[in-house]
Amino acid sequence: MVGIQIFLYCSGAHDIMEQAETVSSAAYDCSWLGADRRRRRALLLVMCRAQRPLQLTAGKLYPINRPTFLSLLQVTYSYYTLLQNLNSR
């Protein structure tokens, strides 16, 4: 059950990061040529800030995304097999 909860967080965070990558191009593709100067500056600011990749972290230590979830599964399985081997001796 804990693994499913972690997967939901990691998957959701990964989807948010993928959507954040498209913000800059979406702002550029809108009809900004006919807009007033204030709106063009606001769109330029959005495009510049959206160029930096979004990074969601857990406790400012680990990035929350799908590769992190997969590495967590691998480590968990390794610990499980290690404990099984020690328990069988």
Q: Find all residues with CB under 8 Å of 81, minimum gap 6, and list them.
A: none
- The pLDDT of residue 49: 85
CA 57 to chain centre: 8
For the segment 27-51, what is each residue's pLDDT rounded down to a tens digit? 888 877 888 899 889 888 888 888 8
Q: Find all residues with CB under 8 Å of 35, minimum gap 6, and list them.
A: 43
The pTM assigned to this predicted structure is 0.55
